[in-house]
Amino acid sequence: MRNRSFVFTKMSKQLLSTVTPSAFRALLSSSVEGAKVVPLDATWYMPNSPHNGRKQFLEEQRMKGAAFFDLDKVALPDSKYPHMLPPQSVYIQEMSKLGIKNSDTVVVYDKSGIFSGPRVAWTLSLYGHKKVYLMDNYLTYKKAEYPLDNTPVTDVGVPGASTSSYSALSDEEFKTKYSQQVIEYEELLELVKSGQLAKDYFVFDARSKGRFDGTDPEPRPGLSSGHVPSALSLPFGKVLNEDKTYKSGEELQALLQSEYGIDLKNSQSKKGIIVMCGTGVTAVILKLALEIVLGTKLPIRVYDGSWTEWAQRAPSNFIEKV
């Protein structure tokens, strides 16, 4: 594992940045009234887990001054697919309830290390929040014995904050960002049908190899496992160290070249990249690994519905198994 020397990447060139625990502590010194540094707990667990992120936040441990972002609540209403990206109105409403302001610097973390945090950090940046960092990571923060709050609370908002007047992008700005960073089922299906998917995109699936191959079951009952035609299996754990921090750019470069023969850092390819997983959460682990850590210049889009949507909607001949 490398000793990461950087503190922050440049916000002007990235949608968001990673921050180490020690750099986060330094960042706190810049917190002032009206422009706070707000830790945002994004802890979420798979549906087959006995744990509950919101319950843990309220009853157990959290970073001091943290609010809680509920992935399952801040989502597209009445969707049959879990935690799909919400309409701007829902996002604005929930951020306002949390007491987060547009001027605040938000540092997203999750208690698994790097798991659901990337999805939430990316969501904030997608909807136009300008100062967003992803903590890399909470486990090393805790190991360093930095301050934590163990007092039970009854509210998931920023402590002491009232409802804010949060605002987001214009509809036109959001549509542009959305189309650049997200791919929907209908477009992906047409790419598969036409045979253009393999020609135009590298598709990385963050689920386990067994689920990708179709040999292991999905965690959601009744859902077939398998993969989208031409997709490549890149389980998200492969881009992380044992302590659940991101591997270095050099390690990611070596991984991609040895397993897939791909040089994404220096590629002059006109291909894009699509990342997916079970429900669009761990796919963003890959997106940020490739964008921020590796530094690829190729555009990366998230298939928001991911395998849960594809397995329920795609024709059976487009569900491949090994």
CA distance 106 to 117: 12
Could you tell me which of 168, 162, 203, 181 has the C-alpha nearest to residue 67?
162
Task: For 168-218, give the DSSP string.
Answer: ---HHHHHHHHHHHEE-HHHHHHHHHHT-HHHHEEEEE-S-HHHHHTSS--
236 tagged catalytic: no
255 HSE (CA, 13 A, CB side) = 20
| Exposed / middle / buried, residue 322 (Cβ in 10 Å: 0-12, 13-18, 19+) | exposed
CA distance 79 to 312: 13
CA distance 260 to 157: 44
The DSSP bridge partners found for residue 300 are 273
Q: Which of 19, 135, 277, 302 is catalytic?
A: 277
* Secondary structure percentages of the chain, helix, strand, coil, to 5: 35, 15, 50
Distance (Å) of CA 190 to CA 93, 180, 195, 210: 34, 17, 8, 26
Structure tokens at 184: 């929907």
Q: What is the CA radius of gyration of the chain?
A: 19
The DSSP bridge partners found for residue 68 are 41
CA distance 321 to 208: 13
Structure tokens at 10: 């440049």
Catalytic positions are 277
